[in-house]
Amino acid sequence: MTGVASSPLAELADEVIVCTPELERSWCHTASYTCAVTAIAALLGEEVGWLPQAVADALAFEEPVPSQAKILVAGAGRQWPTAQEAVLKLREGAWVSAGAHQTEQLLHGHLAAIDDSVRAYVLDGEGRAGERAHDAAAALRELGCETTLVPTRHPVVDIVRFQLLTLAIAESRGIDPDPIHRDDERWARARAAYS
């Protein structure tokens, strides 16, 4: 799966599925991510026809900018990749300290590093994952941590909230989220150090 049918990897593949925009306008790769996850869902046989409208509806949500300097996103099962992608967007586009936690790991030790200086988002789930999400949210609130239990529908829809949060934080700080520091010579030197 690729955004460019003529890429070196595509040339090596027997089957090529072009599922992402050829030109991503942001180094945060928001469109590429949602397109790729949608394509994977479709390949797995999921009905994806409802996703465009669900994403459009999610884009109407206005996420307030947190006052805390650190952000935690917790999730389990199907929500774990969304938690990881959420913190990646926050780090890249808004330059904030953000960490992803598996819900169980958070409850079994990682809580020791959490206090009211952290803004928490816990992705809800189904079955046992949902029960533990509610437990995690309750524990975080006991620590004085401002916490939102985030309802979930599908990874393509769920990530939009965090894309909007990244944009809101970036705008509040006067940051252009798209270049992810690729327009700054210090980060160019840092990339050159490991290239």
**The residue type at 71:** I
Cα 3 to chain center, whole Å?
20
DSSP-based three-state secondary structure for 88: helix
* pTM score over 0.85: yes
For residue 45, what is the enclosing H or E element? none
176-193: pLDDT as tens digits = 988 888 888 998 898 889
DSSP 20: S
Most distant CA pair in the chain, distance = 54
- Per-residue pLDDT tens over the stretch 82-116: 999 999 999 999 999 999 999 999 999 888 889 99
Q: Where are the domains of the chain?
A: 66-194
- Return the C-alpha torsion angle 12, 17, 22, 25, nearest 10: -110
Domain boundaries 66-194, CATH class: alpha beta
Mean pLDDT confidence for 74-78: 94
Q: What would the pLDDT profile of 112-145 be if each residue is shown by its tens digit? A: 889 999 999 999 999 999 999 999 999 999 999 9
